[in-house]
Amino acid sequence: MKDSLGVVDLDAGAAPPHAKQSLRLWLRMLATTRIGEKAIRSYLRQECDSTLPRFDLLAALDRAPDKLTMGEISSRLLVSNGNSTGLVARLHEDGLVLREVDPTDRRSQFVSLTPAGREAFRAMAKLHEDLVDHMFCEVSDSDMESLLNLVTKLSKSVREQMGASHETDPES
- Report pLDDT for 105: 86
Find out whether 59 and 68 touch, Cβ atoms under 8 Å.
no
For residues 94-114, give the mean pLDDT: 92
The answer, yes or no, to whether residue 2 has pLDDT greater than 70, is no
Contact yes or no for 111/102 (Cβ under 8 A): no
Question: What is d(CA 67, CA 22) in angstroms, rounded to the nearest whole number?
Answer: 41
Per-residue pLDDT at 166: 45
The reported pLDDT for the residue numbered 13 is 55
Domain ranges of the chain: 41-129
Considering the domain delimited by 41-129, tell me its CATH architecture. Orthogonal Bundle (1.10)
pLDDT in tens, 23-71: 999 999 999 999 999 999 999 999 999 999 999 999 999 999 889 999 9
